[in-house]
Amino acid sequence: MIQMKTIEEVREWFKADHYAHACGVWIAEVADGYAKCTLQVENRHLNAAGTVMGGALFTMADFTCAVAANWNRGVTVTIDGQINFLGAAKGGILTAEARRRKDGRTLGHYEVTIVSEHNAAVATAVFNVFQKS
């Protein structure tokens, strides 16, 4: 079981998630069954149309779910995930919030919302997770 107490300890542990860390996703808050992460949109996140790439949004949503599911528990992995793109984001700061909706013995369900800095809906995602330990 992971026993992190401070936000700094959580951030340090999740640096091992090299891809999300390299993408610039930042852990802003954690609580039981909850996480909030942010992403400062940069040119590297944009597609040819000048909007944030769907893969960047999925990475942000998946990582935010991972933080909510793992920071105070044993290792938990995503077993499936789905994202719905609701609006284009072109810049600024995006915020993702993950909330646990179902907590079973080994399976869980999380919902993630991503909004722009103007609180415009960008995406929603759902993830089912498996707690390995």
pLDDT (tens place) for every residue of the chain, 133 residues total: 556 678 999 999 999 999 998 999 999 999 999 999 999 999 999 999 999 999 999 999 999 999 999 988 879 999 999 999 999 999 999 999 999 999 999 999 999 999 999 999 999 999 999 998 7
pTM of the model: 0.94
d(CA 70, CA 84): 23
d(CA 53, CA 35): 22
- May I ask the CATH architecture of the domain 7-131? Roll (3.10)
pLDDT at 5: 73
Domain ranges of the chain: 7-131
The CA distances from residue 60 to 13, 74, 104, 106, 133, in Å, are: 17, 21, 24, 24, 24
In one-letter notation, the amino acid at residue 103 is: D
What is the Cα Rg of the chain in Å?
14
